[in-house]
Chains A and B, each alone.
Chain A
Amino acid sequence: MLTISDLHATVADKEILRGISLTVNAGEVHAIMGPNGSGKSTLAQVLAGHPGYEVTSGSVTYLGEDLLEMEPEARAHAGVFLAFQYPIEIPGVSNAYFLRTAYNEIRKAAGKEEVDPMDFLDIMTEKLKLVEMDEAMLQRSVNMGFSGGEKKRNEILQMAVLEPRLAILDETDSGLDIDALRIVADGVNSLRRPDGATIIVTHYQRLLNYIVPDFVHVLANGRIVKSGGKDLALELEAKGYDWLIDEPVALGA
């Protein structure tokens, strides 16, 4: 459902992605791992349409469409969701209003009727349970005064409400204690759908104990230097990243 071919991207004229190719099929979970600065988060943000990055060459096809030609909101309408590494605070807009607006805009794009605030509250009540969040969080401004863990859970709450086909989790495990990690992982697992896929961007292996990937890819210097099964993550946990980055095969291409 997602095909990335030789993707190059820059930020402020600095090349961050230097030829990424990756195919993700429906039903699969892919983990993108790598050291800091390897380009993992950039890849996630480019897929969501972050305006700060410029794609200089390559292509991304999603469900047969040219993803890079689509505005960020059109990508969301088509089922792409990025759980942000650093969720944005929006003072003055309540979480409930924000979510209902997003939910209805996606419904509208699909030619469905909008849901009124009362019916939406019923939907929310159920989704809140999934991430073990209190209803009071709905009336607070989006991410304002949320702890790091609350922000991450709020991202998963949004994901639960919007039910994306392609979920991209960018460092969702960072800053989570073990209980929050389990809640987030359970949430993500229960939201998996047979016609969808999940891409997990992470520095550490520990989230992958809970969300088991089908494939693990190691990014270094803007390229995928190694791909493998879930065992690769365990190997990385034991050996670190240096042995891969130093491999002449990886850099010499």
Chain B
Amino acid sequence: MTGSSTSPWPWEPDVAATAYHRQFATLPDEGPVWLASLRQRARAQFEGYGFPTPRNEDWHFTNPAPITEADFQPMQPALGTVTPAALAPFLVGHAEWPTLVFVNGRYAPSLSRVHSLPAGVRVMSLAAALHEEPTLLERHLGKVAGYDDQGVAFTALNTALMRDGAVLHVAADTVSEMPIHLLFVSDAGAEGGVSYPRNLLVVEPNARATVIEQYVALGSARYLTNAVTECVVAEGATLHHYKLQREGMKAFHVGHIEVTQARDSHYVSFAFSTGASLARSNIYTTLAGEGCGATLNGLYLLDGDQVSDHQTRIEHAAPTCYSRETYKGILDGTSHGVFNGKVYVHPIAQKTDGKQTNKTLLLSDRARIDTKPQLEIFADDVKCTHGATVGRLDDLASFYMKSRGVGAETTRRLLTYAFAADVLETIELEPLKDALESMTMARYTGSTDK
């Protein structure tokens, strides 16, 4: 375990949390009473337990000290220098998809396009929703994403300090085939700053929606994104949720997605991560009604000295639900990947069918993965499996390709891509799948055609 040169380890929570006390003072006074009291509760929780250290079980493999010891200031509103052309490379899929752009944590209406939404679909910034959809917010905001223990201290901070984000409401029986893209951009003005994007996605009974939540950087600023997305997937509803974490290489990202699923609902998630110097991504879902399905897949591609930690938690809290999970990682350089897949099967959750896989490809001797499946099963009639593999490229597949005349280097590149493509193939949104495949192909083979 390495300590920090600037402060003692183990670190004392009340020392480094001081920087955050100042941030509470910067919050706007406006807003409904319930919001102020939500912020207060979250603040009190955070001040009670402070930041986690590697002594916290949920942070055992990832030391958040580089984030918690830095004195990030709330980001100032952007200067308006971001142009649509600068965002073009991040418009994965189709440019005409409804897109909400946030620059340095604040909604940027001039860069967004939210017209041509199907009937029954409402999407707006959190700041606007506080005026336009107060009932919806009061009903759900802060009710899905828990913040009552130190492991989710960043969620508490977000809850206390949130300013803006996206709110999506899809009315009952509305099938929205058009994906909605939430694009969070940090530009040079983000240097030394922190933003607290807060999103709420509500999909009412028997409705269907697709959301892309993407984090990117223009330039190479050092900043922190502390994002929380709450998802309410009502009875019989389906939410396809893609998270693309492509923050700047000096940036820090802590993202927490928490979902509650009612009877017969489906939540399908894909997490694609290539960015940030240190990233933590939580995706938690609770299968709260019978007959639910959750699919959590992901791919992380790391290099240099990047640290990327993916935590998933699936709560089987009702009978006859299924969960499917495949996370893959490709680690190069001295990068460090972490995967922790928690599956809790409550006593009531009979006939649970759960399957989890984590596969890692190490391209370098100095890259490291910590993978931890964590199944806690309290029902007796369940089918739950998990498996993890860590390895290098398959010798047999290499031989097969070489025996067809493909040179050693091309073979290595192509098989690396193939390792990733295997899980990218599970993405149902074709234009996004194509975009991520091309991105991955270019990264490992230098070519973009497949």
**A-to-B contact residues, CB < 8 Å:** 48-52, 71-73, 75-77, 81-82, 84, 87-88, 90-94, 97-98, 101-103, 105-106, 109, 117, 141, 158, 162
Q: Cβ of B450 and Cβ of A94 under 8 Å apart?
A: yes
User: Given A88-B396, A90-B397, A90-B401: A102 and B406 within 8 A (CB)?
Assistant: yes
Of all chain A residues, which has the CB nearest B405? A76
Q: Is the CB of A106 within 8 A of B400?
A: no
Can you name 28 A-B pairs with beta carbons within 8 Å?
A48-B399, A71-B402, A71-B408, A72-B403, A75-B403, A76-B402, A76-B405, A87-B400, A88-B396, A88-B397, A88-B400, A90-B397, A90-B414, A90-B418, A92-B418, A92-B421, A92-B422, A93-B414, A94-B450, A98-B401, A98-B414, A101-B410, A102-B404, A102-B406, A105-B405, A105-B407, A117-B449, A162-B404
For A97, what are the chain B residues with a Cβ–Cβ distance below 8 Å? 449-450
Is B404 in contact with A92, judged by CB distance below 8 angstroms? no
Inter-chain CA distance A103–B405, complex, in Å, is 8
Set of chain B residues within 8 Å of A84, measured between Cβ atoms: 400, 403
Do B405 and A77 touch (CB < 8 A)? Answer: yes
Chain A residue nearest to B397 (CB atoms) is A88
A-B contact count (CB 8 A): 87
Q: Map CB proximity to A onto B372-409 as digits: 1 under 8 Å, 0 otherwise.
A: 00000000000000000000001111011111111110
Q: Give chain B's interface residues, CB within 8 Å of chain A.
A: 394-397, 399-408, 410-411, 414-415, 417-422, 424-425, 449-450
Smallest CB gap from B407: residue in A: A73
Closest B residue to A48 using CB positions: B403
Among B395, B400, B405, B418, which residue has the most Cβ atoms of chain A within 10 A? Answer: B405
Q: Which residues of B contact A98 (CB under 8 A)?
A: 401, 404, 414
Are the C-beta atoms of A92 and B399 separated by less than 8 Å? no
What 5 A-B pairs are tightest by C-beta distance, nearest first?
Answer: A92-B421, A76-B405, A102-B404, A72-B402, A92-B418
Tell me which of B394, B403, B410, B425 contacts A92 (CB under 8 A).
Answer: B425
Give the residues in chain A near B450, CB-CB below 8 Å. 94, 97
Chain A contacts for B422, CB-based, 8 A: 91-92
Which residues of A sit under 8 angstroms from B415, Cβ to Cβ?
A: 90
Q: A93–B403 contact, CB under 8 A?
A: no
Instruction: Beyond the given A84-B403, A102-B405, A105-B405, please list 13 additional residue pairs across the A-B interface where CB-CB is below 8 A.
Output: A48-B403, A49-B399, A72-B399, A73-B405, A73-B406, A73-B408, A84-B400, A90-B415, A91-B425, A92-B417, A92-B420, A101-B406, A109-B405
Q: Is the CB of A76 within 8 A of B420?
A: no
Chain B neighbourhood of A101, CB < 8 A: 406, 410, 414
Q: Which of B399, B411, B419, B449 has the most CB of A within 10 A?
A: B399
With a CB–CB cut-off of 8 A, which chain B residues contact A87? 400
Bound together, the chains give a CA A170 to CA B424 distance in angstroms of 33
Distance A88 CA – B422 CA, assembled complex (angstroms): 15
Chain A hits for B407, CB < 8 A: 73, 105
Contact across chains for A106 and B405 when beta carbons are under 8 A apart: yes
Contact B403–A51 (Cβ < 8 Å): no
Interface centre among A71, A73, A92, A98 (most CB of B within 10 A): A92
